[in-house]
A and B are shown apart, each in its own frame.
Chain A
Amino acid sequence: MDGDKTATVLGPTVEIEGEIEGEEDLVIQGRIQGKIVSRRDLTVDSSGKVEASITTKNLAVSGMLTGNVNASERVEVRKEGKMVGDIKAPRVVIADGAKFKGNIEMGVD
């Protein structure tokens, strides 16, 4: 109501090739190829397929993500999630069952 908790859900049939930028939560159920820049939470749902370099605050992956992630807070690869790429974030969670290939850097900025 106050525009604070708005979220954009990109539905399962949505395919984007290019760049997405936003200052609201973003949920991806479709396919994205390119680049995503978000200042809020980004979720790749189980039907989501993302091939992109990502800059965000929080990221949760339940779908398939290929690309490097730079998160200012936290990255979580959930149990049904698959990710290939490098993660740079102060907090990283890889759940039991998740698939991941890449480097992780939890360094201090």
Chain B
Amino acid sequence: MAKGENGNGQAKATTTAIGPTIVIKGKLRSDEDLVVKGRIEAEIHSSKALLVENSGIIKANVRVKSARISGVLVGNITAEERVEIAPDGRMVGDITAPKIIINDGAAFRGRIDMQNFDEAGEGRPEPKSEPIAAAPKAPMSGGDQPTAAAAK
């Protein structure tokens, strides 16, 4: 959102990598990609991708654009785009995302909801083209103006 904030010409690196010895507890928000090699026990809200590496452990609910899990995730994920559990990933929790991939070898226990079933069923309500009151400033058609005509 407030991307312009980062005015200093520093690396455009839009990735934050959380190292293997780091432990975070609480709440985490971000608008950049997150690579987790450490341990996070914090609700994650990100508008970008989440990558849980082999050494990464997440114990919390997660809301992201997309996620790939090669480590461990215990908690529920809601992703706007996709969730993938890599062959070495382990996850316990529910996944909600339009696209979900569970690779051969991955361990998973939980519920999966690929919302696109709903979306496909509903279809978009088409916006009505124009409101009716489109002509308040009608062009003057002489005859309709009794007063103006009478003045002559």
Contact = CB atoms under 8 A, between A and B. Distances in A.
Contact of B19 (A22, A29, A47): A22
A44 B20 CA distance: 20
B2 to A, nearest CB: 8
A21 B34 CA distance: 17
B17 interface: yes
Interface in A6-57: 6-24, 26, 29-30, 34, 45-47
B112 interface: no
A55 B3 CA distance: 30
Given A46-B8, A47-B5, A47-B6, A10 B26 contact: no
Interface in B2-21: 2-3, 5-6, 8, 10, 13-21
Interface string B14-33: 11111111111111111110
Interface string B23-60: 11111111110100010001000000000000000000
Contacts of B25: 18-21
A107 interface: no
Nearest to B27: A17
Given A11-B14, A14-B32, A16-B28, A21 B22 contact: yes
Given A11-B13, A14-B28, A26 B22 contact: yes
A13 to B, nearest CB: 4
Interface of B: 2-3, 5-6, 8, 10, 13-32, 34, 38, 42
